[in-house]
Amino acid sequence: MRAAAKRAVDPRIDRSRQVILRAALDELGEIGYGPFAIESVAARAGVGKSTIYRHWPDKLTLIADAFRTLHEQAGPELATGSPRQKLERILRHVAEVVAESVFSRCIPALIDAAERDPSLRRFHHGFQREARKPLIAVIAEGIARGDFPKRLDPELAGAALLGAIFFRRLMTDTPFEPAFAGALIDAVIGPPSIRRVPR
């Protein structure tokens, strides 16, 4: 019954929702969290503010939904490939998103506001924790298969890999180049191990 109900959703409603979520991210990236207003998002999306309040009771709920939806829709394909290939795919994707995207423009606003607003901080930390899980799982898979060194701690290695990308975005004027994802893996985890083929 639940699946049938999802299929029955009017496509116009879904399109309207996507437009509103994108407008919310655009607003956050341009003016920051403090001045962020539902009325401004409604104007950007071309809808009445009552339409937004009907689905999202406040700005944090709206922003949280926008971030989660964007993350779910834009993730890389991880069903195929070796752990190293999957990891490189993830890092390339993160580097591309962090370098130039609506999400990239929101990062400084979110970090700044999270220092002042406990509710936003809880969302921000929780969102990042969930977003890291696929990367950590891939590293753990690589360790279990013998593709990555057994000495690695998946959480720490994941933090080091992502930290390099976010450091370049937030602390320098040169974003991390997605093409260097493989070199970053070599630097943090080590080059691919050479498995001997029995004769």
- Percent of the chain residues topping a pLDDT of 90: 79
Identify the band that residue 139 occupies on the pLDDT scale cut at 50, 70 and 90: very high
Cβ-Cβ contacts under 8 Å for 43 (sequence gap 6 or more): none
Give this prediction's pTM: 0.85
Cβ(134)–Cβ(75) below 8 Å: yes
Distant-in-sequence, close-in-space partners of 41: CB < 8 Å, separation ≥ 6: 20, 23, 24, 27, 52, 62
Query: Rounded to whole angstroms, what are the CA distances from 116 to 38, 41, 44, 110, 121?
Result: 20, 22, 26, 10, 8
Q: What does the pLDDT read at residue 72?
A: 84
Q: Where are the domains of the chain?
A: 1-74, 77-193
- Same-fold call for 1-74 versus 77-193: yes
23/3 Cα distance (integer angstroms): 28
Instruction: Extract the runs of DSSP E, i.e. beta strands, from 12-159.
Output: none
Q: Which stretch of 75-84, 131-140, 187-196 has the lowest confidence by average pLDDT?
A: 187-196
- Which among 2, 108, 23 has a CA at the least distance from the CA of 65? 23
pLDDT(4) > 80: no
pLDDT of 100 > 90? The answer is no
Q: Which CATH number fits domain 77-193: 1.10.357.10, 1.10.287.1080, 2.115.10.20, 1.10.10.10?
A: 1.10.357.10
Residue 102, Cβ density class (10 Å: 0-12 exposed, 13-18 middle, ≥19 buried): middle
Tell me yes or no: is domain 1-74 CATH 2.160.10.10: no
